[in-house]
A and B are shown apart, each in its own frame.
Chain A
Amino acid sequence: MKQSLFESRHQPDWDAFNSQLEALERGKSKTQAYHGFAASYRQLCQHLALAQARGYSSHLIDQLQQLAMRGHQQFYRHRSHLGAQMIRFLFGGFPRLVRSEWRSVCVASLLFFGSLALMGLLTYLYPELIFSLVSPDQVSEMEGMYDPDARRLGRFSERGSGDDWVMFGFYIMNNIGIAFQTFASGLLLGLGSLFFLLFNGLMIGAVAGHLTRIGYGEPFWSFVIGHGAFELTAIALAGAAGFKLGWALLAPGRLPRGEALRLAAGKAIQLVAGVILFLLLAAFIEAFWSSTTFASPNIKYAVGAGLWALVLSYLLLAGRRQHAPD
């Protein structure tokens, strides 16, 4: 068949497909836009293959190629229900993923909580150790924040501001920023995640040890125990996600490094999605519960212990059944 005949015979089909594409690209989800789309797309692909096989001119092939490209974009668009997907992820996918990545999760948790506990203990025993990590100004600022006589606890308490929203915003910005850095820097062969895990572990440990030693333990621990359940776990999980990236580069196995990295990043980013959820929860608790002073420390300890138990049992037990509720 000559090209002109081919063109004039199929031009109406291509025009119809083009207008169908335009409707879809404008985001109109009317049903008639979808009607017969798959069939027209397949037909167009066949026309393109024919045009190439028959050596038709570049102009025609380019034109069909563009239509095929646009059809491909629409056909393979991911139109999943984000809400349903998130609920499924929350009720099973995320804890299952954490358990299946137990190696990197264990390594990151050991590094983070280990350095935290060790540094806390050492600072408690050797008071001057804190000044090797934290400058004296910051130490006195910390002491001011957790002074047992203060009306409110935590950051911003010295302003006496009753506005929890400022703190909520600040915690989101600060904590999720740290988690993102801990994850992303794992791409540097895991060294970045290692650094951020150890650095944050040592800092928190030093501050905790110091405040406990000078007798500010009760306001400090009752403040951090609640949101710490989510926040500290989230930092460790972000580190685990970073280690996955670094490990894919260090030991790609039988795959090329780029491919191994791509596969590892797919898993790691899901961990990060869970981390974001955890940190949003943590910021909420920190701003609206931890900083209040109407609850006595004992209640806060009880709630905090409950939250830790909740997080651990969620990560260890949720989604074990084959058909998790979703």
Chain B
Amino acid sequence: MPSRSSASFSSPLPPLDTRYQVETPEGIDLHLRPAGLVPRALAFAIDLAIRGLILSATFIVLGLLGQFGMGLGTILLFLVTWWYMVLFEVLNQGRSPGKQMLGLRVVHDDGTPIGWAASLTRNLLRFVDILPFGYTLGIISCLNHPAFKRLGDIAAGTLVVYRDAPLSKPLLADAEPLPAPFTLNLDEQRAVLGFAERGGQLSAARRAELAALLAEPLQVPAEQAEPRLNGIARGLLGSAP
């Protein structure tokens, strides 16, 4: 799992990945991860299948009701065609069933939950995205946009983002807390802590290799660099009272 550390605060460079930053009125940065073409297409395929099932099931039932059922069925067809996405997105926190399965949701550009106007806009303009056939315009727009927006998303000012996965607490290697041999700046401090927290996800050889890079500034032999780094990390974290 890539570390989603906040590069924004400590370095002025934009992050290399596709994270999308929103500054809130509270003065903090929210990190949104826009979803690309493939998960969105899959989510749409699932929604399409669900709609197909709903329609075929209700048409069989309503067909038994005769003319009145037919009228009701036509209204239902209209609702499912044009309003399925809108109703789910607005009433279910930006998630249609397909998006929910793929772990996606729709938000406004500023990270706030999607409302009626934006949802209606993005879903009505779907009509243009599917032109001239098979979502051609939508796909071209999606692949060309830094936040993977289709035309409807651009006009409505919305984003399709991944929901955050729950975090698990990392296990730090046992080590005696040590003071840092020299004053670390914020980036270096984050890097040392990051190394200690991600140790469990790296192989022993890779850990040793990474730690050996710091053997010289730490003034220790290469094989002792890893325990030393873990010790410094422990020292930075401090001990709970």
**B9 touches A (CB below 8 Å):** yes
Contacting residue for A185 out of B10, B93, B127, B169, CB 8 A: B127
- In the complex, chain A residues whose CB is within 8 Å of the CB of B4: 58, 62, 65
In the assembled complex, A22 has its CB within 8 A of some CB on chain B: no
Residues of B within 8 A of A176 (CB): 78, 82
Does the CB pair B120–A72 fall under 8 Å?
A: no
Q: Are B194 and A57 in contact (CB under 8 A)?
A: yes
* Contact (Cβ within 8 A) A45 B26: yes
Instruction: List residues 200-224 of chain A with CB under 8 A from any CB of chain B.
Output: none
Contacts of A56 in B (CB 8 A): 193
Query: Does B88 make an interface contact (CB < 8 A)?
Result: no
Interface of chain A, helix or strand or loop or mixed?
helix
Residue A68 at the B interface, CB < 8 A? yes
User: Which B residues are in CB contact (< 8 Å) with A72?
Assistant: 24, 30, 111-112
Query: Is A169 in contact with B73, judged by CB distance below 8 angstroms?
Result: yes
Given known pairs A68-B28, A165-B72, A169-B71, the reply for A4 and B240 (CB within 8 Å) is: yes
Classify chain A's interface size: 35 or more
User: Are A184 and B124 neighbours in the complex by a CB distance under 8 Å?
Assistant: yes
Q: Is B39 an interface residue (CB 8 A)?
A: no
CB within 8 Å of B: which A229-273 residues: 245, 258, 261-262, 264-266, 268-270, 272-273
A sample of 23 cross-chain residue pairs with beta-carbon separation below 8 angstroms, ordered by A number, consists of: A41-B26, A45-B28, A58-B4, A58-B190, A59-B169, A62-B5, A69-B111, A77-B113, A78-B115, A168-B75, A169-B70, A170-B71, A172-B74, A172-B75, A172-B78, A184-B126, A184-B127, A187-B125, A187-B155, A264-B155, A265-B156, A269-B156, A272-B124
Interface residues of B (CB under 8 A from A): 3-6, 9-10, 24, 26-28, 30-31, 67-68, 70-75, 77-78, 81-82, 93, 107, 111-113, 115-117, 120-121, 124-128, 131, 151, 154-157, 164, 167, 169-170, 186-187, 189-190, 193-194, 196-197, 236-241
Chain A interface (Cβ < 8 Å from any Cβ of B)? 2-5, 7-8, 25, 41-42, 45, 48-49, 52-53, 55-59, 61-63, 65-66, 68-69, 72-73, 76-78, 82, 161, 163-170, 172-173, 176-177, 180-181, 183-185, 187-188, 192, 245, 258, 261-262, 264-266, 268-270, 272-273
